[in-house]
Amino acid sequence: MPDVASPAGNHRPHPRYGTPGRLWGAERIRGELLKVGIRVSKRTIQKYLRIARRHRGGGQTWATFLRNHADRTWACDFIQTYDLLFRQVYAFFIVHLCSRRVVHVATTRNPTRAWTAQQLRNAMMGGEGGEPPAVLLRDRDDKFGPSFDQVAEGAGARVIKIAARAPNMNAIAERFVGSVRRELLDHVLVLDDEHLGFLFRKYRDYFNESRPHQGLGQRTPAGTTIDADVSKSIAIKSVLGGLHVDYRRAA
């Protein structure tokens, strides 16, 4: 039975049949196969299940966890850059995993633990991020600390620290960092932390409301689709002094 056995053996979804439920036993799989007219003995299914589970391990994968909880998960991180006089300035952000919407941004020269905890409090209590998350992802940077975790846990969020040297565990935040550098910081001279804050907020609004995302089917995090009334003229709006352009159909 190669078409059914091969997904178990190499742990990849079969292009025709997909991957069986991770929690299913042999009898459950046998029953599902009978529904589509495939007759296989329970012993044969058990054989391939042993192979698949030996390679996969017993726990839920990180990717599966994120898919299951993305709608109630926030991720946060810092972006370090330099101003015109080569002084360090920092931008802190929080992004919603499912929609990719940036729910909070702030900038400072001195990102203390108390400052970082206050930014999370602002995001959760100030209405910027909407409903507080159930899960909050952060790295092990010393700029967070126990007070940051206490704010999150006080709002009912479980804080998960990503493993050291494992940026893919916080891939959405890492991708946003890359977008900010490529689409903003590589093209401007930052005067100071207030100037960085102004630029960052403008970019956040553009990112959320106007920038199409491949991972969202070319929609924006705010939900704007590519569908438009083609009978109307095209309105052009300059963003960040012409660094980007927002094209819309006129209202």
pLDDT band at residue 2 using 50, 70 and 90 as cut-offs: very low
Q: What is the pLDDT of residue 131?
A: 80
Q: Domains along the chain?
A: 2-59 (no CATH), 70-216 (3.30.420.10)
**d(C-alpha 202, C-alpha 157), whole Å:** 28
Does the structure show a pLDDT above 60 at 58?
Answer: no
Lowest mean pLDDT among 2-6, 44-48, 163-167: 2-6
> The whole model's pTM is what?
0.75
Q: What is the pLDDT of residue 4?
A: 42
At how many degrees (to 10) do helices 145-154 and 113-125 cross?
A: 20
Q: What is the pLDDT of residue 57?
A: 54
Q: What is the pLDDT of residue 55?
A: 58
Taking residues 18-26, what's their average pLDDT?
68
Does the structure show a pLDDT above 50 at 40?
Answer: yes
Q: What is the pLDDT of residue 127?
A: 57
Percentages helix, strand, coil for the chain, rounded to the nearest 5? 45, 20, 35
Does the structure show a pLDDT above 80 at 15?
Answer: no
Lowest mean pLDDT among 15-19, 93-97, 224-228: 15-19
Cβ atoms of 95 and 76 closer than 8 Å: yes
